[in-house]
Every structure is written in C-alpha cells, then in structure tokens.
Structure 1
Amino acid sequence: MAKAASQIEMPIGVVVRKTPGVTRWAKWNWRAVAVLPGAAPADWLEMRREGEAVEYHAATLPLTLWADETEAYLVNLSDTQPSIYLVLRDELKSDQPLNAVLVTASPFEGQDYADTGEEIVEKIPMTEGLIAWVRDFTLKHHRDEVFIKRRRDKKRTDLVEDGKGDARIRQVSDVYRAPRRIVQ
C-alpha cells in the first residue's frame, strides 16, 4: 500500500513459539521465529502444536519503510541474514502473554528499543520476497550524503588570557593562589 513517495507499508504477521522453560524461574520460553508478509489480522491465533511447543500468529503489524532511513536498510541488507526486528512488551495481562508493538527493518531502530531495557527485541530472518521488497525500495530512494568538512575560524584565541586565575585576587604575581580571608 503506497501512502506517499517517501514511504511504503506492508502488513507483517509475526509467529511466536512457546516452549517449556529450562529453569524453575521461567515456566515458558517465548521466541519469535518467523514473519508472514501480507498476513491478515490476528491476535494470538494458534497455528501449530508439537507436544508442549506451540506456535502462534501473535499479531499482524504494519512494516513501514521510510526514504530517509535507507542507510539503515542497507546495513540490514548487507548482513549475512537480513532480518525484521520485532518489539515486544510484557504487559502482565492474563489474556495474552506479550504485546507485539512494532516491526521494523531498521537495525538502528531495533537497537534503540533494545537499549531501554523495557522491551524485548527479537531478530527474525526475512523471507526472500521481503528482502527483494526492502532492497527495491532502498535502491530507489537511497541518496549518498556527501561529507563536508567543517572549516575552522582563522581567529587566534590564544592571544588573550581572560579569566585566568581568581578574579578576587588583585595582584599579578600569583594568580592561582586562594584569596585570604580577612580577619576582623
């Protein structure tokens, strides 16, 4: 779905797998395992069950690509396994274990969410079709930024010694000594 020339959007379904935890402190282990490009809306729809392991279509979220973030997409595409980053929050609700908040193709945005420590960021491998979609958008909109070196002023700042020492001391001999307290 095209909204403007500078952005495009596609619904992405995320598949989350629940397996038994390996410690007594974590009863279940939750892990994002796949994406479903162009998926229909879903809310923790059970897809497959193998013993105690269950896979859910947890949510369908919009993946939006922005023309001014193409550098981040190029970094993602140059990785050995290009990925989608899923941001999950533990809402502590009884009806659903985790809340899927965002999907992004930008590793920089994924890192920003991971830095807060409040959200869980899962890296999910992209499908071949999704890689081609992101690559086509990135190549169409990417513009290399030319590095422009900043030039320094020619003004000499080392010729004047303003603010040297303590202003309360009136003598020129030792400007670094502490002022004496006048005893009355």
Structure 2
Amino acid sequence: MQQPSVCLPLGIVIRRVPGKTRWVRHVWKAVDLLPGAGPAAWKVLREEGEAVEYHAATVTLELWRTDTEAYLSALSARVPSIGVIMSNDPDRPQVLLATASPYETQDYLDSGEELVELVPMPEGLVALIRDFVEEHHTEEAFVKRRRDRERTDRKVDGVGDARIPQLTDVYRSPAGRKAGRLH
C-alpha cells in the first residue's frame, strides 16, 4: 500500500450547545481546526453561558499524491473546508477522521451513518495544501473510449442474450396462459 505524502496532526474543536427539544439534550458541531495540535481528549477551551468548546481530539490529516484533483476542488470552493467525520453519538461524538478531499467527505455524507461537518481551513492550512498540490499535481489527458468495431445493431435473431440458454424464441407468449383467459 502506498504511504501518504504528508501527514499533519490536526486538532478538532467541537462546540456543545443545549438542544432545542427535550429529545435532544445537546447539539454538537465541529467549529474550528488547530493545525499541528498535540494530543487532546475533550479539553475545555472556552465556556460562554451554556455553550462549551472542546479540543475534542487530534487526528492525522493525510494528503495523498493521487488525490490532488480532489484537493484542487476543495481549494476552489467559495470557502475551502476540511471535512470532519464524527460518530453519531448524541451524548459525546467521537472524531473519526478529517479529510481535505470533498469527494471522500461526500462518500460519508451519502452513507448517512456519521455526522459530517465542513470546517473552514485556516490560511496556513490552505497554503500547505496549495503548495502540496502545486508540487504533486499532474494533469491527466482525457482519453475518449473507443467503441468496438463490431456492429451489434444489425443482428436481430430473437434469441436474446447468447449467454442464457433458450430453446425457443424469447418473444413467445408466456406458458400457461390460454388465449382469452386472464388470471
């Protein structure tokens, strides 16, 4: 397996605010990133009334040479963001992953099993990813797929798919139905 080109510790700041209903006690939201942060386990950073911000975890942000197209897409967004993927635990979600790839973030959004937050990148992180992309990105030439030269549209034999053995015409009426009788 190929190794990532760049690994950066990335602290994830999560804000907890009271829920609006009796069924949801707290609402958790990833709100900030701390590039180069040390290890943390729910260290309180700030409290304002009932809102509390935690340095919840430090995960490794991995940049891969093969994903530079995705990073370009992230950098060209109106607000370049890191996707933070968290477990769907209402009491205290665990940070599972941070990714700079919007394609990977979309995969987690599609599954619907985890909480996914987009957190704006700090300027230093934008510069790091931009430099990484400039160093490793190579444009891939578009290669149009060519069709086979065999003309399959001229062959009409009524047998259907040759891989499925059939003794008679596939357009026959269903067996067991008699003319004029409907079940």
Which of residues 76, 88, 99 in structure 1 aligns to 2:74? 76
Alignment map for 1:95-134 (pairs within 5 Å): 97-134=92-129
The alignment's TM-score, normalised by the length of structure 2, stands at 0.84
For structure 1, which segment, 143-152 or 12-21, has the greater mean C-alpha deviation from structure 2 after superposition?
143-152
Deviation at 1:136, TM superposition (A): 0.3
**What is the identity, as a one-letter code, of the residue corresponding to 1:32?**
A
Name the counterpart of 1:19: 17
Deviations 1:108-147 (A, max 9, x none): 1011011111100011010000000000001111111111
Which of residues 121, 136, 146 in structure 2 aligns to 1:151? 146
SS in 2 for 1:71: helix
The structure-2 alpha-carbon separation of the partners of 1:179 and 1:103, relative to structure 1 and needing over 3 Å to count, comes to closer
| Uncovered stretches (5+) of structure 1, i.e. residues with no partner | 170-174
Q: Does 1:135 align with 2:157?
A: no
Contact 1:168–1:179, Cα closer than 8 Å, also in 2: no
Deviation at 1:167, TM superposition (A): 4.1
Q: Distance in 2 between matches of 1:180 and 1:65?
A: 61
Deviation at 1:156, TM superposition (A): 2.4
SS in 1 for 2:68: helix
For structure 1, which segment, 140-149 or 33-42, has the greater mean C-alpha deviation from structure 2 after superposition?
140-149
Q: Distance in 2 between matches of 1:177 and 1:102?
A: 56
**What is the identity, as a one-letter code, of the residue corresponding to 2:103?**
F
**What is the identity, as a one-letter code, of the residue corresponding to 1:57?**
H
**What is the identity, as a one-letter code, of the residue corresponding to 2:94?**
N
RMSD (Å), alpha carbons: 2.3
Contact 2:159–2:168, Cα closer than 8 Å, also in 1: no
Deviation at 1:177, TM superposition (A): 4.1
Deviations 1:64-113 (A, max 9, x none): 00010011100000011101111000357x7xx11100000001101101
Q: Normalized per residue, which structure has more strand?
A: 1
Q: Distance in 1 between matches of 2:40 and 2:113?
A: 24
Deviations 1:18-60 (A, max 9, x none): 1111122211111111000000000111111111111000000
The alignment's TM-score, normalised by the length of structure 1, stands at 0.84
The structure-2 alpha-carbon separation of the partners of 1:132 and 1:154, relative to structure 1 and needing over 3 Å to count, comes to same
Contact 1:32–1:122, Cα closer than 8 Å, also in 2: yes
Identity of aligned residues (%): 51
| Uncovered stretches (5+) of structure 2, i.e. residues with no partner | 161-165, 177-183
Deviation at 1:180, TM superposition (A): 7.3
Name the counterpart of 2:49: 51
